[in-house]
A and B are shown apart, each in its own frame.
Chain A
Amino acid sequence: MKKVLEVNHLKKYYHTKKEEILSLKDISFCVYEGEILSIVGPSGCGKSTILSILCNLIPLSDGAIYQDKNYKIAYMLQEDSLLPYLTVLENCFIGLKIENHLTEQNKEYVLSLLDLYGLSDFQNKYPNQLSGGMRQRVALIRTLAVKPDILLLDEAMSALDYQSKLKIEEDIYNIIKKEGKTAILVTHDIEEAISMSDRVIVLTNRPSSIKNIYPIELQEKNGPIKNRSDLNFSKYFNIIWGDFNEKI
């Protein structure tokens, strides 16, 4: 399989007036084309920091990242961050506007995504008129609108109620697999990680390094909801839960 991203000995310090905090001690992993890779770990261990660095939002302190330049990265955050003064449609166009790619063809693509996720009737509404699940779908469409090859999802489903969360997990899983995209999923939810991913990286407490990487081999991969009832699912859950609670 083709390697699209490689992270080598990544290190990250945060600086405050009083101290220097080592957030990431030594992180190395690869991402292969078409896979969903999850990063799980105790809260505050620096999972989101990894994505912020990959997305060039913050600089790294040491180490290196090799990225295939033909692969475009897009980032989806925990908060939907829909701009309150723009309509649903305008919010979906924002990434395209920034990239100066708001062509008729791309507009059509966004409209087809809105249609696919049952949001066509809401395209002229404002974000405060939508439910949490709908808002997160709009955020997903906004991210997909720029046609990324690698999706970075930072706790993207964690603010939702259980039902909406499962539905969006299913949507995201299907779109990634159907369109052959690659995804890195950061989550604190072990079930979400196992049910969606091809591999799961478990991080240690801060300063974090990689504790284990598990390839997830289920009997049949049928999407996050059905995967939860797979025979191997609880086996992986117990192993990773064990990792979480083990003293380092």
Chain B
Amino acid sequence: MKKYSLEHQYYLKKKKKENILVLFLQLLIILLFLIGWELLSQKNMINTFLYSSPSRIFDTLYHLILDGKLFPNLLITIYELLISFILSLGVGLMIAILLWNNSFLAKVVDPFLTILNSLPKVALGPLIIIWFGAGVNSIVFMSLLISIFVTIINIYYGFIHVPNNYITMITSFGAKKWQVFRYVIFPYNIKTIISTLKVNLSLNLIGLLPPVGEKIFFNKCYSRY
């Protein structure tokens, strides 16, 4: 093992201490929140019909597990989430590449992307049922619809904002357009893509949860409980 100086050992110790403290405080906040919630509901200071309480939630969870209902439903939701997540990344990335490759097309569709992104997609629920029927397909499509435009816009803007000097450098070596993409545009935007994925995960989940996807279309999911 590497031998560190006393000063460095002290530095590492301090860092470790800080990390433990952060984790401890985070857990404490969750615990205090649950205790406060429980106390308020037990003293009837909040309406448990509206806000429920931790003990009731745990109780329901316990019974769902005993009945064997929780996991099949949970699996369906996870399945829907995965499909819509992968689709929104795949389709979004492909459209972003297409727009980067064709700036004329990008100019044409730019306002439509903004409009489609700001559209309240939930309002399209009934139409989506007509298109796809009441089932997993509709839920996945709703979830996809909510995240796809953000994916396209974020990744495309990442692509076109790569500093020009990198592109000039690589083009001066005779790089073709796909090589510019392969060696500069894509790797330069890995961080943008990852941060888009993080946002997508929560957007996809919004698409699945009540009162959006599963509540509108489908009765088989964990959110109905």
Contacts and interface: CB of A to CB of B under 8 A. Distances in A.
Interface string A78-117: 0101011110000000110111000000000000000000
A57 interface: yes
A93 to B, nearest CB: 10
Interface in B143-194: 165-166, 168-175, 179, 183-184, 187-188, 190
Contacts, number: 40
Given A85-B187, A85-B188, A146 B173 contact: yes
A168 B166 CA distance: 22
Contacts of B172: 55, 57, 74-75, 77
B107 to A, nearest CB: 14
Given A83-B187, A85-B187, A85-B188, A94 B165 contact: no
Nearest to B184: A83
Given A79-B165, A81-B168, A83-B166, A99 B187 contact: no
A107 B173 CA distance: 17
B190 A94 contact: no
Interface centre among A74, A84, A86, A98 (most CB of B within 10 A): A98
A83 B183 contact: yes
Interface of B: 165-166, 168-175, 179, 183-184, 187-188, 190
Interface of A: 55, 57, 74-75, 77, 79, 81, 83-86, 94-95, 97-99, 146
Which 5 residue pairs across A and B have the least CB separation, nearest first? Answer: A81-B169, A75-B172, A95-B173, A98-B173, A79-B165
